[in-house]
């Protein structure tokens, strides 16, 4: 039997104006959804109602769309990665340090649960889970979370190691790459067949520098043929930029374009170190034009890079060039609103211009641009016919007041503290500030135990046998 929920007389609603093709504020209206679809966003809803929510003191916004993150292996590095960097590799911890804290299977499970809880609490309803290591029961964990999840099991032809902490070396293994590709495709098939209807698959070659041309082309063809997102890491470090220009004589993005793998189906994370970035000093300025001309989306995840002292230069420049940009959280904390704030601030700092990017453009990146990257026009917006993926903001929260402009208060001040309710497919995954699908306290206890096990094993994985305390000392010494 169909059930209808009505959020009655909401003070503010971030509604979709189909005529103008943009989000707009509307005041004191009802938002109603029957089962998994929005049926009304306007003056008083007169149809039958199963459940009524008082919208006074609330702002209703579309659920946020996170197009790139790593829930399985990032929460375990909390308290570790924030200041972990290799000064001989542009301060990045990507290649040989953060991965030393390696979660076991239970740690991977706990990490996913903790990350998903953070995402829900920050208003996320759709997430791309990009996983280098997949725990047992991964797809079922996605379903249990209640989120709309795009499962992206990664595969690659090469593993990297680091010599003398300053040179990245690639070990190529064609047979191993094929095996990882086939395993990933089996997981994608499982996701696509899931009866919930909320789980989909993503074709995910791991990195531009660890995949052969043949693997990239074959995987992109499959994605196009099946109508799936294709996503890889590209232009994410200066190490990678130099490696790819040495191999091919062109930038990483231009190499991908030459392979014919870019297009509206494709998303590249993180596309920071392009020929437009001041650090690369590359002849020519073609990368942003390539992204715009092919309709490729960039998954921008500024928080983790800002910790290394690295920023995109600038997000506003990408948008003005016509590049489609969505937002992801990449690493812990998986807090989408903090990621939004960082994206705005870093872009303005890089441009030395407060007008470089507007909050409205960034909100578009977290909603309709993310939906477009996934090939959807039924999420990331509040309009009749769209999915009932919604987040409610408590306007009475002290961090939101005074409420002159709810999105500004949310992004610049309150963040996740003001999110009270989240619905996915019309079902509450957060109600009155409490998660309904996940036991975060239990998952956090398991994650703490897994981090302790991982920390004890760091010397066995570090090439120099160093202890975790030597690689990532505490902020203050123990007295």
List domains and CATH numbers for the chain: 4-61+390-435 (2.30.40.10), 64-373 (3.20.20.140)
CA distance 278 to 237: 13
Higher pLDDT, 46 or 93: 46
pLDDT band at 96 (very low <50, low <70, confident <90, very high): low
Are 45 and 13 in contact, with CB atoms under 8 Å apart? no
CA distance 122 to 442: 20
Reported as a single tens digit per residue, the pLDDT across 173-201 is: 999 999 999 999 999 999 999 999 999 99
> What dihedral angle (degrees, nearest 10) is formed by the CA atoms of 41, 386, 423, 302?
-110
pLDDT in the model for residue 87? 83
Model confidence pTM above 0.85: yes
How big is the chain by its Cα radius of gyration, in Å? 22
pLDDT in the model for residue 164? 83
The closest of 298, 335, 284 to 127, measured between CA atoms, is 335
Residues contacting 476, CB < 8 A, separation 6+ = none
Reported as a single tens digit per residue, the pLDDT across 361-403 is: 999 999 999 999 999 999 999 999 999 999 999 999 999 999 9
State the DSSP string of 343-361: HHHHHHHHHT-GGGS-HHH
Tokens of residue 333, six digits = 């904390």
Reported as a single tens digit per residue, the pLDDT across 107-153 is: 999 999 999 999 999 999 999 999 999 999 999 999 999 999 999 99
pLDDT in the model for residue 85? 82
The closest of 15, 29, 37 to 387, measured between CA atoms, is 37
Q: What are the start-end ranges of the H helices in 29-121?
A: 105-121
Are 275 and 286 in contact, with CB atoms under 8 Å apart? yes
CA distance 31 to 371: 21
CA distance 224 to 235: 22
**What is the overall mean pLDDT for the chain?**
96
pLDDT in the model for residue 170? 95
How many C-beta atoms surround the C-beta of residue 457 within 10 A?
Answer: 15
- Residue 157 DSSP class: S
Rounded to 5°, the CA angle 133-135-136 comes to 145
Say whether pLDDT at 162 is over 90: no
pLDDT band at 275 (very low <50, low <70, confident <90, very high): very high
pLDDT in the model for residue 431? 97
CA distance 201 to 463: 36
Question: Residue 92: which H helix or E strand, with range?
Answer: none
Mean pLDDT value of segment 315-320: 98
pLDDT in the model for residue 478? 92
pLDDT in the model for residue 98? 76
pLDDT band at 309 (very low <50, low <70, confident <90, very high): very high
Question: Residue 367: which H helix or E strand, with range?
Answer: none
Tokens of residue 242, six digits = 């130099």
Could you identify the residue written with the tokens 């872009």?
Answer: 347
């Amino acid at each position: 039997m169909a059930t209808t929920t009505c959020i009655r007389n909401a003070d503010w609603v971030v509604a979709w104006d189909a005529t103008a093709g943009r989000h707009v504020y509307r005041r004191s209206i009802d938002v109603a959804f029957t089962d998994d679809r929005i049926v009304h966003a306007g003056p008083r809803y007169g149809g039958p109602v199963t459940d009524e929510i008082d919208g006074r003191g609330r702002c209703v916004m579309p659920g946020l769309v996170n197009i790139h993150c790593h829930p399985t292996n990032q929460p375990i590095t909390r308290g570790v990665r924030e200041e972990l960097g290799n000064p001989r590799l542009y301060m990045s911890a990507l290649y040989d340090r953060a991965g030393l804290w390696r979660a076991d299977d239970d740690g991977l499970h706990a990490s996913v649960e903790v990350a998903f809880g953070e995402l829900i609490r920050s208003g996320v309803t759709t997430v791309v889970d990009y996983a280098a290591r997949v725990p047992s029961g991964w797809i079922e964990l996605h379903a249990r979370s209640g989120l709309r999840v795009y499962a992206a099991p990664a595969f690659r032809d090469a593993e990297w190691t680091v010599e003398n902490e300053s040179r990245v070396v690639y070990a190529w293994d064609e047979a191993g790459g094929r095996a990882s590709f086939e395993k990933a495709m089996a997981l994608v098939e499982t996701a696509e067949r899931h009866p919930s209807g909320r789980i989909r698959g993503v074709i995910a070659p791991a990195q531009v520098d660890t995949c052969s041309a043949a693997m990239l082309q074959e995987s992109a063809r499959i994605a196009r043929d099946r109508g799936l997102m294709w996503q890889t890491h590209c232009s994410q470090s200066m190490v990678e930029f130099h490696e790819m220009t040495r191999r091919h004589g062109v930038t990483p993005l231009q190499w991908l374009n030459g392979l014919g793998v870019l297009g509206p189906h494709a998303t590249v994370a993180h596309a920071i170190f392009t020929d437009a970035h001041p650090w690369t000093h590359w002849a020519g300025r073609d990368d942003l034009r390539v992204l715009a001309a092919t309709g490729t989306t960039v998954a921008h995840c500024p928080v983790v890079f800002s910790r290394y002292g690295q920023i995109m230069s600038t997000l506003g420049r990408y948008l003005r060039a016509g590049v489609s940009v969505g937002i992801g959280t990449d690493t812990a904390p998986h807090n989408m609103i903090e990621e939004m704030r960082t994206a705005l601030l870093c872009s303005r700092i890089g441009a030395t211009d407060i007008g470089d990017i507007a909050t409205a453009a960034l909100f578009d990146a977290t909603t309709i641009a993310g939906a477009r990257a996934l090939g959807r026009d039924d999420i990331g917006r509040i309009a009749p016919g769209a999915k009932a993926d919604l987040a409610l903001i408590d306007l009475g929260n002290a961090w939101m007041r005074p409420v002159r402009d709810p999105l500004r208060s949310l992004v610049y001040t309150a963040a996740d503290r003001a999110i009270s309710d989240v619905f996915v497919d019309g079902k509450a995954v957060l109600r009155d500030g409490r998660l309904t699908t996940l036991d975060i306290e239990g998952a956090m206890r398991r994650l703490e135990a897994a981090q302790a096990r991982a920390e004890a094993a760091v010397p066995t994985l570090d090439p120099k046998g160093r202890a975790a305390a030597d690689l990532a000392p505490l902020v203050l010494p123990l007295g």
